[in-house]
Amino acid sequence: MKFLLAVHFLVTLALIGIILLQKSGDTALGIGGNSGGLLTPRGQANLLTKVTNWLAVTFILNCILMASISKPERKHTSVIDQAAQDQVIDAPVKIDRAAPQGKAPEVPTSSGK
């Protein structure tokens, strides 16, 4: 897992760097001016685009791989079943089902008596 995390960190830094090197619209982020060199501007753009695509694919696959490795084992139970299992039941309560002792309170009627 530490190896994958290190790879993830390096791919992330490379992806950020490659994206910042690419030309955005009219400006090149203030870098350069003349693009004279071994690569033509068109070839350079194609190369940077391909490298960006490969780094992005590597980033996504690495994310999926790390998530699948690190996920804990889960039992497929519902939340309601889990809550029922987590309840702690104390000593059973004794319920007296005998008739109540004494007189029940009177219920008021609509006549006011």
pLDDT, tens digit, 9 for 90 and up, residues 36-69: 444 566 666 688 889 999 999 999 999 999 998 8
Instruction: Give Cα 89 distance to the centre of its chain.
Output: 35
pLDDT at residue 8, rounded to an integer: 94
DSSP string, 92-103: PPP---SPPSSP
pTM: 0.49
